[in-house]
Structure 1
Amino acid sequence: MSGSAAPSSRSRPRRVRSTTETLLSIVLVLEAILLFFVVLVLFGLKTLSPAAAFGGGAAFVVMILVTIALLRWPVGMALGWIVQAALISLGLLNPVIYVVGAGFAAFWIWCFVRARQIDRRRREYLAAASTPSEGDTP
Protein backbone atom coordinates (compact mmCIF):
# COMPACT_ATOMS: atom_id res chain seq x y z
CA MET A 1 0.00 0.00 0.00
CA SER A 2 1.50 3.33 -1.02
CA GLY A 3 1.70 6.44 1.14
CA SER A 4 -0.43 8.56 -1.14
CA ALA A 5 -4.07 7.77 -1.59
CA ALA A 6 -5.71 8.48 -4.93
CA PRO A 7 -8.94 10.45 -4.75
CA SER A 8 -11.99 8.28 -4.83
CA SER A 9 -14.03 8.30 -8.01
CA ARG A 10 -17.10 8.39 -5.76
CA SER A 11 -16.07 11.60 -4.02
CA ARG A 12 -18.73 14.25 -3.93
CA PRO A 13 -18.18 17.06 -6.45
CA ARG A 14 -17.27 20.39 -4.98
CA ARG A 15 -20.18 22.80 -4.60
CA VAL A 16 -20.06 25.74 -6.97
CA ARG A 17 -20.26 28.97 -4.99
CA SER A 18 -22.01 31.98 -6.46
CA THR A 19 -20.07 35.14 -7.13
CA THR A 20 -22.19 36.86 -4.49
CA GLU A 21 -21.24 34.30 -1.86
CA THR A 22 -17.56 34.48 -2.79
CA LEU A 23 -17.24 38.28 -2.83
CA LEU A 24 -19.25 38.82 0.34
CA SER A 25 -17.25 36.19 2.20
CA ILE A 26 -14.06 38.02 1.16
CA VAL A 27 -15.46 41.28 2.53
CA LEU A 28 -16.38 39.56 5.79
CA VAL A 29 -12.91 38.03 6.19
CA LEU A 30 -11.40 41.47 5.66
CA GLU A 31 -13.77 42.86 8.28
CA ALA A 32 -12.70 40.16 10.74
CA ILE A 33 -9.08 41.22 10.21
CA LEU A 34 -10.10 44.86 10.62
CA LEU A 35 -11.88 43.97 13.84
CA PHE A 36 -8.62 42.66 15.30
CA PHE A 37 -7.10 46.13 14.87
CA VAL A 38 -10.23 47.85 16.17
CA VAL A 39 -10.03 45.74 19.32
CA LEU A 40 -6.37 46.67 19.76
CA VAL A 41 -7.21 50.38 19.37
CA LEU A 42 -10.11 50.22 21.82
CA PHE A 43 -7.95 48.35 24.33
CA GLY A 44 -4.90 50.57 23.79
CA LEU A 45 -6.87 53.79 24.25
CA LYS A 46 -8.44 52.28 27.39
CA THR A 47 -11.90 52.80 25.91
CA LEU A 48 -12.87 49.31 27.06
CA SER A 49 -11.55 46.94 29.67
CA PRO A 50 -9.40 44.09 28.36
CA ALA A 51 -12.20 41.56 28.96
CA ALA A 52 -14.77 43.68 27.16
CA ALA A 53 -12.47 44.54 24.26
CA PHE A 54 -11.10 41.07 23.61
CA GLY A 55 -14.25 39.18 24.60
CA GLY A 56 -16.48 41.41 22.52
CA GLY A 57 -14.04 41.27 19.63
CA ALA A 58 -13.91 37.48 19.78
CA ALA A 59 -17.71 37.27 19.86
CA PHE A 60 -17.91 39.62 16.87
CA VAL A 61 -15.40 37.50 14.91
CA VAL A 62 -17.41 34.35 15.71
CA MET A 63 -20.53 36.12 14.42
CA ILE A 64 -18.67 37.01 11.21
CA LEU A 65 -17.50 33.40 10.75
CA VAL A 66 -21.03 32.09 11.27
CA THR A 67 -22.27 34.63 8.73
CA ILE A 68 -19.69 33.43 6.19
CA ALA A 69 -20.87 29.85 6.68
CA LEU A 70 -24.49 30.87 6.14
CA LEU A 71 -24.03 33.13 3.09
CA ARG A 72 -25.50 30.58 0.71
CA TRP A 73 -28.91 31.10 2.36
CA PRO A 74 -30.95 34.31 2.77
CA VAL A 75 -30.37 34.27 6.54
CA GLY A 76 -26.64 34.64 5.88
CA MET A 77 -27.24 37.68 3.72
CA ALA A 78 -29.40 39.21 6.45
CA LEU A 79 -26.71 38.52 9.04
CA GLY A 80 -24.18 40.17 6.74
CA TRP A 81 -26.22 43.37 6.71
CA ILE A 82 -26.46 43.19 10.51
CA VAL A 83 -22.67 42.82 10.70
CA GLN A 84 -22.32 45.99 8.63
CA ALA A 85 -24.62 47.92 10.95
CA ALA A 86 -22.82 46.55 14.02
CA LEU A 87 -19.42 47.52 12.63
CA ILE A 88 -20.61 51.07 11.96
CA SER A 89 -22.15 51.25 15.43
CA LEU A 90 -18.71 50.62 16.95
CA GLY A 91 -18.16 54.27 16.09
CA LEU A 92 -19.97 55.01 19.34
CA LEU A 93 -16.79 53.86 21.09
CA ASN A 94 -14.39 55.80 18.85
CA PRO A 95 -15.69 58.19 16.16
CA VAL A 96 -12.95 57.24 13.66
CA ILE A 97 -14.55 53.79 13.44
CA TYR A 98 -17.63 55.43 11.87
CA VAL A 99 -15.51 56.27 8.83
CA VAL A 100 -13.87 52.85 8.65
CA GLY A 101 -17.19 51.06 9.18
CA ALA A 102 -18.92 53.18 6.55
CA GLY A 103 -16.10 52.42 4.12
CA PHE A 104 -16.48 48.70 4.63
CA ALA A 105 -20.27 48.98 4.39
CA ALA A 106 -19.85 50.76 1.05
CA PHE A 107 -17.49 47.98 -0.06
CA TRP A 108 -20.10 45.40 1.05
CA ILE A 109 -22.86 47.18 -0.89
CA TRP A 110 -20.74 47.47 -4.04
CA CYS A 111 -19.78 43.76 -3.88
CA PHE A 112 -23.40 42.79 -3.20
CA VAL A 113 -24.78 44.74 -6.17
CA ARG A 114 -22.01 43.85 -8.62
CA ALA A 115 -21.93 40.15 -7.70
CA ARG A 116 -25.71 39.90 -8.13
CA GLN A 117 -25.33 41.36 -11.64
CA ILE A 118 -22.58 38.87 -12.48
CA ASP A 119 -24.62 35.94 -11.13
CA ARG A 120 -27.68 37.01 -13.14
CA ARG A 121 -25.66 37.33 -16.35
CA ARG A 122 -24.05 33.94 -15.72
CA ARG A 123 -27.48 32.31 -15.30
CA GLU A 124 -28.70 33.97 -18.52
CA TYR A 125 -25.60 32.81 -20.39
CA LEU A 126 -25.90 29.24 -19.13
CA ALA A 127 -29.62 29.15 -19.95
CA ALA A 128 -28.94 30.40 -23.48
CA ALA A 129 -26.08 27.95 -23.96
CA SER A 130 -28.16 24.98 -22.83
CA THR A 131 -31.12 25.61 -25.15
CA PRO A 132 -30.65 24.58 -28.80
CA SER A 133 -31.00 27.35 -31.37
CA GLU A 134 -33.31 27.05 -34.39
CA GLY A 135 -30.45 26.25 -36.74
CA ASP A 136 -29.44 23.22 -34.66
CA THR A 137 -32.57 21.17 -35.36
CA PRO A 138 -32.07 18.23 -37.79
Structure 2
Amino acid sequence: MARMSARAARAARAPRTLVQKLGSIVLGFEAIGALLAGLVIFGLKALPAGIPPWWGIVAGAAVAIALVAVAGAIAKPWAVPAGWALQVVIALGALLVPAIAFVVLIFGGMWAYATIGGARIDRQRPAGPPAEPHTESE
Protein backbone atom coordinates (compact mmCIF):
# COMPACT_ATOMS: atom_id res chain seq x y z
CA MET A 1 0.00 0.00 0.00
CA ALA A 2 1.48 3.27 -1.13
CA ARG A 3 -0.82 5.44 0.96
CA MET A 4 -0.50 5.68 4.69
CA SER A 5 -3.60 5.28 6.74
CA ALA A 6 -4.90 8.39 8.47
CA ARG A 7 -3.90 7.01 11.86
CA ALA A 8 -0.34 6.25 10.69
CA ALA A 9 -0.03 9.73 9.17
CA ARG A 10 -1.09 11.35 12.46
CA ALA A 11 1.38 9.18 14.38
CA ALA A 12 4.21 10.18 12.02
CA ARG A 13 3.47 13.90 12.41
CA ALA A 14 5.22 15.77 15.19
CA PRO A 15 2.97 16.50 18.17
CA ARG A 16 1.44 19.96 18.12
CA THR A 17 2.73 22.50 20.59
CA LEU A 18 0.48 24.42 22.96
CA VAL A 19 1.04 27.55 20.87
CA GLN A 20 -0.26 25.73 17.81
CA LYS A 21 -3.26 24.29 19.62
CA LEU A 22 -4.34 27.48 21.36
CA GLY A 23 -3.43 29.76 18.46
CA SER A 24 -5.55 27.89 15.93
CA ILE A 25 -8.53 27.93 18.31
CA VAL A 26 -8.22 31.68 18.94
CA LEU A 27 -7.84 32.52 15.25
CA GLY A 28 -10.76 30.29 14.32
CA PHE A 29 -13.11 32.01 16.72
CA GLU A 30 -11.71 35.42 15.86
CA ALA A 31 -12.65 34.77 12.22
CA ILE A 32 -16.30 34.77 13.29
CA GLY A 33 -15.75 38.08 15.09
CA ALA A 34 -14.05 39.60 12.02
CA LEU A 35 -16.95 38.60 9.80
CA LEU A 36 -19.41 40.12 12.25
CA ALA A 37 -17.30 43.28 12.51
CA GLY A 38 -17.50 43.61 8.73
CA LEU A 39 -21.28 43.37 8.96
CA VAL A 40 -21.30 46.07 11.65
CA ILE A 41 -19.18 48.37 9.47
CA PHE A 42 -21.62 47.75 6.62
CA GLY A 43 -24.71 48.26 8.75
CA LEU A 44 -23.46 51.48 10.32
CA LYS A 45 -22.14 52.75 6.98
CA ALA A 46 -18.93 53.57 8.81
CA LEU A 47 -16.68 53.70 5.75
CA PRO A 48 -15.49 57.11 4.52
CA ALA A 49 -17.60 58.97 1.96
CA GLY A 50 -17.20 57.66 -1.56
CA ILE A 51 -16.60 54.03 -0.52
CA PRO A 52 -19.70 51.85 -0.92
CA PRO A 53 -20.81 50.30 2.41
CA TRP A 54 -20.68 46.75 1.03
CA TRP A 55 -16.88 46.97 1.16
CA GLY A 56 -17.27 46.48 4.91
CA ILE A 57 -18.63 43.01 4.28
CA VAL A 58 -15.88 42.28 1.75
CA ALA A 59 -13.17 43.42 4.18
CA GLY A 60 -14.65 41.41 7.07
CA ALA A 61 -14.89 38.29 4.90
CA ALA A 62 -11.33 38.74 3.60
CA VAL A 63 -9.93 39.08 7.12
CA ALA A 64 -11.99 36.09 8.28
CA ILE A 65 -10.64 33.96 5.41
CA ALA A 66 -7.09 35.09 6.22
CA LEU A 67 -7.60 34.16 9.90
CA VAL A 68 -8.86 30.70 8.97
CA ALA A 69 -5.96 30.22 6.55
CA VAL A 70 -3.39 31.17 9.20
CA ALA A 71 -5.14 28.94 11.74
CA GLY A 72 -4.86 26.04 9.30
CA ALA A 73 -1.17 26.73 8.68
CA ILE A 74 -0.31 27.38 12.33
CA ALA A 75 2.51 24.81 12.26
CA LYS A 76 4.42 26.86 9.68
CA PRO A 77 7.08 29.24 11.03
CA TRP A 78 5.45 32.30 9.42
CA ALA A 79 2.00 31.69 10.94
CA VAL A 80 2.49 33.30 14.36
CA PRO A 81 3.89 36.58 12.92
CA ALA A 82 1.05 36.54 10.37
CA GLY A 83 -1.39 36.14 13.26
CA TRP A 84 0.10 39.20 14.94
CA ALA A 85 -0.19 41.15 11.69
CA LEU A 86 -3.86 40.19 11.45
CA GLN A 87 -4.36 41.42 15.01
CA VAL A 88 -3.07 44.83 13.87
CA VAL A 89 -5.36 44.80 10.82
CA ILE A 90 -8.37 44.09 13.03
CA ALA A 91 -7.28 46.81 15.46
CA LEU A 92 -7.31 49.29 12.58
CA GLY A 93 -11.02 48.52 12.20
CA ALA A 94 -11.51 50.27 15.54
CA LEU A 95 -10.77 53.53 13.74
CA LEU A 96 -14.04 53.04 11.85
CA VAL A 97 -16.15 51.62 14.69
CA PRO A 98 -14.70 52.26 18.17
CA ALA A 99 -16.63 49.31 19.64
CA ILE A 100 -14.34 46.98 17.67
CA ALA A 101 -11.59 47.99 20.12
CA PHE A 102 -13.34 45.93 22.79
CA VAL A 103 -13.21 42.87 20.54
CA VAL A 104 -9.56 43.64 19.75
CA LEU A 105 -8.72 43.70 23.47
CA ILE A 106 -10.40 40.35 24.10
CA PHE A 107 -9.07 38.43 21.11
CA GLY A 108 -5.71 40.23 21.17
CA GLY A 109 -5.30 39.21 24.81
CA MET A 110 -6.17 35.62 24.02
CA TRP A 111 -3.76 35.63 21.06
CA ALA A 112 -1.01 37.08 23.26
CA TYR A 113 -1.58 34.40 25.88
CA ALA A 114 -1.69 31.66 23.23
CA THR A 115 1.61 32.75 21.70
CA ILE A 116 3.60 34.14 24.62
CA GLY A 117 2.22 32.08 27.50
CA GLY A 118 1.92 28.96 25.36
CA ALA A 119 5.56 29.23 24.29
CA ARG A 120 6.64 29.59 27.92
CA ILE A 121 4.68 26.49 28.90
CA ASP A 122 6.05 24.58 25.88
CA ARG A 123 9.61 25.42 26.98
CA GLN A 124 8.90 24.00 30.46
CA ARG A 125 7.59 20.68 29.12
CA PRO A 126 10.00 17.76 28.97
CA ALA A 127 11.25 16.91 25.50
CA GLY A 128 10.22 13.72 23.76
CA PRO A 129 6.95 11.88 23.36
CA PRO A 130 4.44 11.98 26.21
CA ALA A 131 4.69 9.18 28.71
CA GLU A 132 2.14 6.41 28.55
CA PRO A 133 -0.46 6.87 31.25
CA HIS A 134 -0.72 4.12 33.82
CA THR A 135 -4.13 2.70 34.52
CA GLU A 136 -5.43 0.90 37.59
CA SER A 137 -5.49 -2.39 35.67
CA GLU A 138 -1.70 -2.45 35.41
> When the two structures are superposed, what TM-score results if normalisation uses the length of structure 1?
0.75
Which residue matches 1:13? 9
Which residue matches 2:99? 96
Question: Equivalent of 2:67, from 49, 58, 64?
Answer: 64
Cα deviation, 1:52-100, whole Å, max 9, x if unaligned, reads 0121112111211221122112211110010111111111111121232
**Contact 2:30 2:107 (C-alpha < 8 Å) held by counterparts:** yes
Q: Any unmatched runs of 5+ in structure 1?
A: 1-8, 130-138
Percent same amino acid at aligned positions? 33
Which residue matches 2:90? 87
> When the two structures are superposed, what TM-score results if normalisation uses the length of structure 2?
0.75
Aligned Cα root-mean-square deviation (Å): 2.2
Q: Any unmatched runs of 5+ in structure 2?
A: 132-138
SS at match of 1:43: helix
Deviates more, 1:82-91 or 1:65-74: 65-74
**The structure with more radius of gyration:** 1
Letter in 2 for 1:87: I
Cα deviation, 1:30-67, whole Å, max 9, x if unaligned, reads 11111122122111112143430121112111211221
> Which structure has more RCO (C-alpha within 8 Å, separation ≥ 6)?
2
Report the count of equivalent residues.
120
